[in-house]
Structure 1
Amino acid sequence: MPTIIMTKWPVKLDGSVRAKAMSFLQKLSADDTTAGLHVEPINNSVDPRVRTGRVDQFWRAVMFRLEGQGESHYVIHGVWPHDDAIAVASRVRLKVNPINGLPQIEETAVPVEVTPPPVPKQPVEPLLTRLGRTRAELVDRLGVPEDVADLALAAEDDDALLELAQRHNGWLGLLLVDLATPDSIDEIADRLQLQAPKQTGDDDEDLLQSLRRPAARAQFAFIEGQEELRRVIEADDFPAWRIFLHPEQRQYVEKPYGGPFRLSGGAGTGKTVVLVHRARALATQRKDARIVLTTFTTNLADSLRDNLALLDPIVTQSTAIGQPGVYVAGVDALAAAVIRSAGAAIANAVLRVLGDTRSAPTSRTSTTRWREILESSSGSLPPEIANETFLSTEYSLVVLPNRVTNETEYRRVRRPGRGVALDRAKRDAVWALIAAYRAQSRLDGTLDFAEAAAVAAAHLESTGGLADHVLVDEGQDLSPTHWQLLRALVAEGPDDLFIAEDSHQRIYGNRTVLGRYGIRIVGRSRRLTLNYRTTAQNLRYAMAILDGGAYVDLEDEAEGTGYRSARSGPEPIVEDAGSLVAELDAIARHARAWQEQETKPETIAVLVQDKFQRERVVTALNERGVAARAVDREVPGKGRVLVMTMHRAKGMEFSKVVLADVGFQSAAEKSRLGTLDDGERQDAELRARSLVYVAATRARDELAVVRRK
């Protein structure tokens, strides 16, 4: 049976043609001599390996046939209308790059009349010249084709070089993007794992060996079986996400680690891609492995579950914690699963953490409980202490992780990183409120989310873990008791914890340091910097939002930026609205204009600050003739513009995005911030910046920002 090797096709097919292409490739992979396929060479082609095959009377596939390893291999270049396919097939060649050993598809240029560009009045020194790059480095060290190298060396700025990179698939496009960075030529070569071939032949065996190189797999994918072929053809954008991994990403998928590993990176750099692939790899290596894949919110957990199923439906997704397979759940659902599995034995863990009992540990405390306690208290604490934010944070960051159960222990406990100093009298007053909170929860028998994680961790510490590997997405949003739970869930050892995080996207919890909770990275930390989702123009806008903020990662180190994009597009549109009505008019205008450009409405999102504004925008859009729907927990539907909160949009992406409410603060929010101490207020402001950054990076192609004064 022939092996199919897929590439990123130059021409995108609609649904009906894609189905015919799938049928053709399935038959080809089963038996390339099947009647009706018409796999034929092309007379006078520049590459004798090239073949065409009949998809139907109008469409033909262009491919290269290689013989090696005891079977035929077909590298599928794409599908074109009949005459175009013959023309393409006659002038394409598959060869091994003699410098870096990677496969490349060359196409003999079709002569065209070129109009010389106008001479600029003030010539600009090209970007790569300013960076000290030379033609010899590009051609002789990296293997960039000479014509592409000349175009790259003539590019005046980042955008021009990025536009060139977008015209080249696979390793060449990635290499061109890297050339715009301050990285050395050697660093670029190492990242793509470039090395000269041992021999410079272009026979079939040389090509097959080249096609299996790590950087080649960013453009060429060996398809394993009919089911995988069906998924590749039927899916839309996901094949690029699923198969064509950057060599750096693939390294983090496959490499074993001697303990906890942390992978950081900005929005759209592929951290989640790596996690899902790594979950699959671990499950494939050991069928009895117990793998937990978790994240902060239920929506993101649902997305992880769907992506894993799309990546490989054969991978077992277990339905109960502790079973072989991949168990996917939000971290709070994970804590609940541990508590349920413990049964009556959970009472001992509750006692160790809280010093008292709970009759309904699987039920959750009302989110208004701290407010109720404050309203019923007659204490004289200052407002920067007697507020919900301070008390809930003190409880989750200090009391629960240290398993403080009484006033004496609270007087002695250390409070690293807490901005408000507490003398003995203030500590006693704070403890009185905490004791009241616990007493009220004891009456209804509930645990809050942070308590549940702490209790689940305490139980596992006494009974042993329930997983062999734990993979964590959006780690920056997890609380100390979440980390205690995850540390207890898996025994210390090789490949125990794999953590993906971006401190610039911390929009929920407070800053946390992993080392305080038994998770010691010890040099096992790397960073992704290439953004695959957001255009360079949108990324620049998003990164500017973070300017001036002091961000710290999970190892208590300053979080860097330096992110770059592999895509280019129009500049974001930023406009000011003097009133709510003007803001709603502007939102409707952008959504309507994009739909008039034939953008599907469900690929357009309007992102707002809260649910109240979400409902108002949905009503306003429908009144203005733009069909829209609100999105909360449910999966977004089709046929309408989507309106959701910026928090809900995390982990999602859209073709076009309108950001609303940017820069606006309600009177209630201003009042709340006014009650916080300086440290809490600064942290809240960082999270507000991060929220807009997260929202801006949801846009793949176009971004509009409406600021309300």
Structure 2
Amino acid sequence: MPTIVMAKQERPLEPVMKKKAYAFLEKLSEDDTRPGLHIEPISNAADERVRTGRVDQGYRAVLFKITTAETSTYVFHGIWPHDEAIRVAERTMLRVNPISGIAEIRTVEPAAGETPQPAATPSTSAPPPAQVVATPSPPPVVTDAPALLAAYGITVEHLTDLGLDEDFATRAMAVTDEDAVLELAEAAPAEWQAMALIDLSAGTPVEEVRSKLGLDTEVDMSGSDEERLLRGLQHPAGRLSFAWIEDDEELRRVVEDSDFAAWRIFLHPLQQQFVDRAYKGPAKVTGGAGTGKTVVVLHRARALARRRPMARVLLTTFTTNLAAALERDLGRLDPDVTIAGGLGEAGVRLAGIDSLARSVLVEAGRDVGQAAGLVLGADTVDVLQRTGNDAWREAIEAVGAELPEHLRSPAFMAAEYTTVVLPRRITSAAEYFRVPRRGRGVSLSRGQRAAVWAVVERYRAAARAHGTLDFAEAASVAAAYLDLRGDAARPYDHVLVDEGQDLGPGHWQLLRALVAPGDDDLFIAEDSHQRIYGQKITLSHYGIETRGRSRRLTLNYRTTQQNLRWAMGVLDGADYSDLEGEEEKHDDYRSARSGPVPRVLPCATLTDELDQAAELVGGWTSEDGVVPETVAVLVRDRFQRDRVVNGLAERGVEVRAVDRESIRAGRPVVMTMHRAKGTEFARVLLFGVREGAVPAGMKDYETSEADLQDAMLRERSLLYVAATRARDVLAVSWSGERSSLLADG
């Protein structure tokens, strides 16, 4: 049975053609000698391996056939109308880059009046430079600006030594800015060459680029031309453009899924390293929005489950909406992965972290009392109901008279409790008097600590009276329960965490308690720039050490460079640190895509802003090919969301408010910036980005400079998250005074 390799498609197939393509490829994978397939060579083609096949009366597939003693492999290039397919087949070749060893599909341009001739050794040597060309690109514009790559000490020899085409390398040396880089990258001879150019233009050292793309091993040129081609198709960087299809179900998903995303099958070599590597302990991947951290986590969960079918794998994140999205995407990635239901079952369990804590407490039943006593100082078994939002305010009002005025804040008390008291399992005033309070930003005298502790005791007593715990307490008690049972009773073999930056101390104690220390125990994806919940923490304080097993992703696959540049401007001037406490920079993030500059729409009044929003959203949805639900309006809170929904409806633009439910087809959506976490849209309007709304009022955080600065970081992060939901088009509006978080200009 022939093997099918799919080349990444430059243009999507129409729905009717997808079904025909799948039927054609399914038959091909079963028996390529079927007469109805009409698998035929092309006379005088540039590559003797090229074939065409009949998809229907008017369309033909273009393929390359690689034959060895063991098997036949077909590389599927695409489908075109009959005559165009013949022309494509005549002028296209599959070769191995002689420097990098990567397989590449290239176009051969014959000289005027000539018929293209087959390449003598297409998989071992590069054709003459005048013969093999990339997509035509305009010559670089000569300016007085310094060449970008030369500023980093890069020469054309560095580029050609990596395997970049000499003509492409020469053009690359002339580019002077990011926009020119993206324009040239779009015309790269192969996708891996585009990725190399984008990384190098961001200042990534040549040797690091070599390592990231898997170019740091000697190219194996042994064996036949066919064997070299097969190795080139399997090269880590080759898998950016070629995917090996394992079975009919995977073939169907690749061809037919109308919403097929390249992340499911075409991974960057660096992403693949994270997926495949075995770690001697906890490991971490960091990266900005859209760099593929979640992709890595999903593929790694799948790989762990495939490697050991009876393994107990947990994939968790902060919110239930994100957990549901992960479960949906894992099913799209591989429907055959076993989804586990209960705690500790074989397969992959997907759950929000607070839901997971509840599962542990439900299993514990009345045996939870000892753990509750360790954490809270009282052996309560009432652990399944959650404490109300006003509990801290009520405790302060009841017994907080001794607190200084600036400390009478629910935000301060909640932060003190979750970052100082709970993680250290403090149950008495004496313990609290002795505990260090690193990073809290405000020092407390002994009398002030006594006043704080009185509020803590009141808070806990009220919760016991109502039979409740708050979410942080539930996670801490669940962790203590698992710790009491010991390593032999840990419910999971592997724990993977997405959006780790949003988890609190109790969550990390729980995650550490869910899996015994060992190989591949914890794998964490995080981006400190997207922390919109909780306080800054350092993993090592909770028994999780990832130093030496942590790397970054810097290439954005979701949004355009123009949108990314605008979003990064929101972060400028602020200091961020990752979960290891190390400085987290953002000036080296780059996108592989280009698009329009974001529109900035200042308005005098809210009425004007709603008029502008109606015109913009209405115009977007009236464009040909625009799917309504790929248009989103993002706002700061639910009150603003409902106001926008009603305001647009009054102006004849029907939109749908989205809260906890999934996004449904048929209308543009309006949602809060918090709810938008984990989503993406083709077109996004950030509405109401005015002072007093973004950032929101900071009064509750003015108890300490550290709390205030941290709250401002979260506000910046929220706006950054919202802006990076836009794949293609971004607009920003406000009425009145613009937000102080917006960059000038």
The normalised TM-score by structure 2 is: 0.92
Q: How does 1:554-573 map to 2 (within 5 A)?
A: 554-561=579-586, 562-573=588-599
State the secondary structure of the residue aligned to 1:661.
coil
Which residue of structure 1 lines up, in the alignment, with residue 563 of structure 2?
Answer: 538
What per-residue deviation string (whole Å, max 9, x for no partner) do you get for residues 585-605 of structure 1? 222222122223222211111
When the two structures are aligned, how many residues end up with a matched partner? Answer: 707
Q: What is the CA-CA distance between 1:252 and the residue it aligns to? A: 0.5
User: 2:503 matched to 1:478?
Assistant: yes
User: 2:531 matched to 1:506?
Assistant: yes
Q: Are 1:99 and 1:196, in contact at CA under 8 Å, matched by a contact in 2? A: no
User: 2:548 matched to 1:523?
Assistant: yes
Could you tell me which runs of 5 or more consecutive residues in structure 1 were left unpaired when the two chains were aligned. Answer: none
Distance in 2 between the 1:203 and 1:405 partners? Answer: 72
Which residue identity lines up with residue 477 of structure 1 in the other structure? D
Which residue of structure 2 lines up, in the alignment, with residue 20 of structure 1?
Answer: 20
State the secondary structure of the residue aligned to 1:105.
strand
User: 2:220 matched to 1:198?
Assistant: yes
Which residue identity lines up with residue 541 of structure 1 in the other structure? W
Q: What is the CA-CA distance between 1:40 and the residue it aligns to? A: 1.1
State the secondary structure of the residue aligned to 2:385.
coil
Which residue identity lines up with residue 191 of structure 2 in the other structure? G
Name whichever of 155-164 and 341-350 sits farther off: 155-164
Q: What is the CA-CA distance between 1:34 and the residue it aligns to? A: 2.3
Distance in 2 between the 1:98 and 1:121 partners? Answer: 31
User: 2:123 matched to 1:97?
Assistant: no
Which residue of structure 2 lines up, in the alignment, with residue 70 of structure 1?
Answer: 70
Which residue of structure 1 lines up, in the alignment, with residue 632 of structure 2?
Answer: 605
Which residue of structure 2 lines up, in the alignment, with residue 574 of structure 1?
Answer: 600
What per-residue deviation string (whole Å, max 9, x for no partner) do you get for residues 592-621 of structure 1? 222232222111111100001011111112
Distance in 2 between the 1:357 and 1:527 partners? Answer: 43
Distance in 1 between the 2:717 and 2:144 partners? Answer: 39
Sort the Cα spacing of 1:28 and 1:468 in 2 relative to 1 into closer, same or farther, 3 A.
same
Q: Are 2:67 and 2:226, in contact at CA under 8 Å, matched by a contact in 1? A: yes
Sort the Cα spacing of 1:119 and 1:109 in 2 relative to 1 into closer, same or farther, 3 A.
closer
User: 2:371 matched to 1:325?
Assistant: no
Sort the Cα spacing of 1:358 and 1:64 in 2 relative to 1 into closer, same or farther, 3 A.
same
Which residue of structure 2 lines up, in the alignment, with residue 32 of structure 1?
Answer: 32
Q: How does 1:290-689 map to 2 (within 5 A)?
A: 290-377=312-399, 379-464=401-486, 465-561=490-586, 562-598=588-624, 599-666=626-693, 669-670=696-697, 672-673=699-700, 675-689=702-716
Distance in 1 between the 2:703 and 2:664 partners? Answer: 40
User: 2:163 matched to 1:143?
Assistant: yes
State the secondary structure of the residue aligned to 2:594.
coil
Q: Are 2:412 and 2:700, in contact at CA under 8 Å, matched by a contact in 1? A: no
User: 2:179 matched to 1:159?
Assistant: yes
Sort the Cα spacing of 1:697 and 1:111 in 2 relative to 1 into closer, same or farther, 3 A.
farther
Q: Are 1:223 and 1:229, in contact at CA under 8 Å, matched by a contact in 2? A: yes
Sort the Cα spacing of 1:120 and 1:323 in 2 relative to 1 into closer, same or farther, 3 A.
closer
Distance in 1 between the 2:406 and 2:30 partners? Answer: 71
Distance in 2 between the 1:120 and 1:76 partners? Answer: 36
State the secondary structure of the residue aligned to 1:221.
strand
Q: Are 1:358 and 1:446, in contact at CA under 8 Å, matched by a contact in 2? A: no
Name whichever of 415-424 and 507-516 sits farther off: 415-424
Name whichever of 497-506 and 167-176 sits farther off: 167-176
Q: Are 2:32 and 2:39, in contact at CA under 8 Å, matched by a contact in 1? A: yes
Q: Are 1:456 and 1:485, in contact at CA under 8 Å, matched by a contact in 2? A: yes
User: 2:207 matched to 1:186?
Assistant: yes
Sort the Cα spacing of 1:202 and 1:134 in 2 relative to 1 into closer, same or farther, 3 A.
farther
Distance in 2 between the 1:503 and 1:613 partners? Answer: 27
Which residue of structure 1 lines up, in the alignment, with residue 115 of structure 2?
Answer: none
Q: Are 2:366 and 2:381, in contact at CA under 8 Å, matched by a contact in 1? A: no
Q: Are 1:9 and 1:79, in contact at CA under 8 Å, matched by a contact in 2? A: no
Sort the Cα spacing of 1:364 and 1:137 in 2 relative to 1 into closer, same or farther, 3 A.
same
Q: What is the CA-CA distance between 1:135 and the residue it aligns to? A: 2.6
Which residue of structure 1 lines up, in the alignment, with residue 155 of structure 2?
Answer: 134
Q: Are 1:469 and 1:497, in contact at CA under 8 Å, matched by a contact in 2? A: yes
Q: Are 2:181 and 2:198, in contact at CA under 8 Å, matched by a contact in 1? A: yes
Q: What is the CA-CA distance between 1:665 and the residue it aligns to? A: 1.1
Which residue of structure 2 lines up, in the alignment, with residue 86 of structure 1?
Answer: 86
Distance in 1 between the 2:172 and 2:76 partners? Answer: 28
Q: Are 1:5 and 1:221, in contact at CA under 8 Å, matched by a contact in 2? A: yes
Distance in 1 between the 2:579 and 2:595 partners? Answer: 33
Q: What is the CA-CA distance between 1:409 and the residue it aligns to? A: 1.7
Distance in 1 between the 2:335 and 2:403 partners? Answer: 56
Distance in 2 between the 1:547 and 1:476 partners? Answer: 19
Distance in 1 between the 2:695 and 2:287 partners? Answer: 34
Distance in 2 between the 1:666 and 1:17 partners? Answer: 48
Distance in 2 between the 1:123 and 1:349 partners? Answer: 69
State the secondary structure of the residue aligned to 1:99.
coil
Which residue identity lines up with residue 540 of structure 1 in the other structure? R
Distance in 2 between the 1:197 and 1:442 partners? Answer: 67
What per-residue deviation string (whole Å, max 9, x for no partner) do you get for residues 79-105 of structure 1? 111111111011101011111111111
Which residue identity lines up with residue 615 of structure 2 in the other structure? R
Q: What is the CA-CA distance between 1:384 and the residue it aligns to? A: 2.5
Q: Are 1:474 and 1:500, in contact at CA under 8 Å, matched by a contact in 2? A: yes
Distance in 2 between the 1:519 and 1:34 partners? Answer: 58
What per-residue deviation string (whole Å, max 9, x for no partner) do you get for residues 385-414 of structure 1? 111100111111111111111222222222
Distance in 1 between the 2:226 and 2:323 partners? Answer: 44
Give the percent of matched residue pairs that are identical in Structure 1 and Structure 2: 53
Name whichever of 653-662 and 499-508 sits farther off: 653-662
Which residue of structure 1 lines up, in the alignment, with residue 743 of structure 2?
Answer: none
Q: What is the CA-CA distance between 1:670 and the residue it aligns to? A: 3.1
State the secondary structure of the residue aligned to 1:384.
helix
Distance in 2 between the 1:202 and 1:132 partners? Answer: 38
Which residue of structure 2 lines up, in the alignment, with residue 176 of structure 1?
Answer: 197
Which residue of structure 1 lines up, in the alignment, with residue 120 of structure 2?
Answer: none
State the secondary structure of the residue aligned to 2:678.
coil
Q: What is the CA-CA distance between 1:556 and the residue it aligns to? A: 1.0
What per-residue deviation string (whole Å, max 9, x for no partner) do you get for residues 160-211 of structure 1? 2212222445312212212312123222222111155332777211101111
Sort the Cα spacing of 1:120 and 1:76 in 2 relative to 1 into closer, same or farther, 3 A.
closer
Distance in 1 between the 2:186 and 2:255 partners? Answer: 22
Which residue identity lines up with residue 369 of structure 1 in the other structure? A
Which residue identity lines up with residue 480 of structure 1 in the other structure? P
Distance in 1 between the 2:502 and 2:664 partners? Answer: 27
Which residue identity lines up with residue 338 of structure 1 in the other structure? V
Structure 1 runs of 4+ with >4 Å offset? 114-125, 666-669
Sort the Cα spacing of 1:422 and 1:543 in 2 relative to 1 into closer, same or farther, 3 A.
same
What per-residue deviation string (whole Å, max 9, x for no partner) do you get for residues 515-554 of structure 1? 1111112321111111111111111111111111111111
Distance in 2 between the 1:534 and 1:166 partners? Answer: 15
Which residue identity lines up with residue 143 of structure 1 in the other structure? G
CA RMSD of aligned residues (A): 2.1
